[in-house]
Amino acid sequence: MSIRLSEFGNGDTDFLVRLLCGEHWPYHSGAGFTETEVRSRIESGFYTNPGTKTFIISDENGDSIGYIRLFDLGSDPDSSETPLFDIRFREADRGKGKGKAAVKALVHYVFTNYPNKNRLEATTRHDNTGMRAVLKHCGFAKEAHYRQAWPDKSGVMVDCVGYGILRADWERGTTTPVHWQDGDKQ
């Protein structure tokens, strides 16, 4: 699967507006944006600032099919803050392996461009099995389960899960399992 990540620029504004306003986001609480809201977020630096980078995901034909917002990078290149990301695809491009390719490209980007970053994190709703499979496939380990921590569209709190990938695991091509014992005797 061939995809390309390119940093968000002014020429991508209309695509991002169409993507966020025109697609269905069943697992995102931040859904249902208006064009005015998205354009205001772009102008305010929500998608691009010293601690945030946004990438447009393109397919092998060069068509824009999604975006990744990488955030919590820290205020300077030497920050040890742990970044997270939000990834979204057009509905027509979901479930076709493109998420795996995009997440792998993002992990490579973070660990090759930010030598001080030891890990990358992701959270998703517990019932977003597609995203959970992508994260596992890309070497992320489940590290947390947060009960009733993510509001769905109607405001009902649902569980979410946290995943992380360590630089050392990425370099070795392994996934270190989480030691879940808290010292409790079983």
* pTM, entire model: 0.92
pLDDT digits (tens, 9 = 90+) for 10-27: 899 999 999 999 998 888
Q: Which residues contact 128 (CB under 8 A, 6 or more apart)?
A: 27
The token duo for 30 is 């931040």
Q: DSSP class of residue 39?
A: H
- Please report whether residue 50 resides in a domain: yes
Domain assignment of residue 162, given as a range: 4-172
| Confidence tier at 186 by pLDDT (50, 70, 90) | low
- Please report whether residue 181 resides in a domain: no
| Confidence tier at 30 by pLDDT (50, 70, 90) | low
Question: Collapsing DSSP states into helix, strand and coil, what is residue 4?
Answer: strand
Indicate the number of domains in the chain.
1
Q: What angle do CA 125, 131, 136 make, to 5 degrees?
A: 110
pLDDT digits (tens, 9 = 90+) for 57-115: 999 999 999 999 999 999 877 888 999 999 999 999 999 999 999 999 999 999 999 98
The token duo for 92 is 């027509």
CATH number at residue 61: 3.40.630.30
- Please report whether residue 177 resides in a domain: no
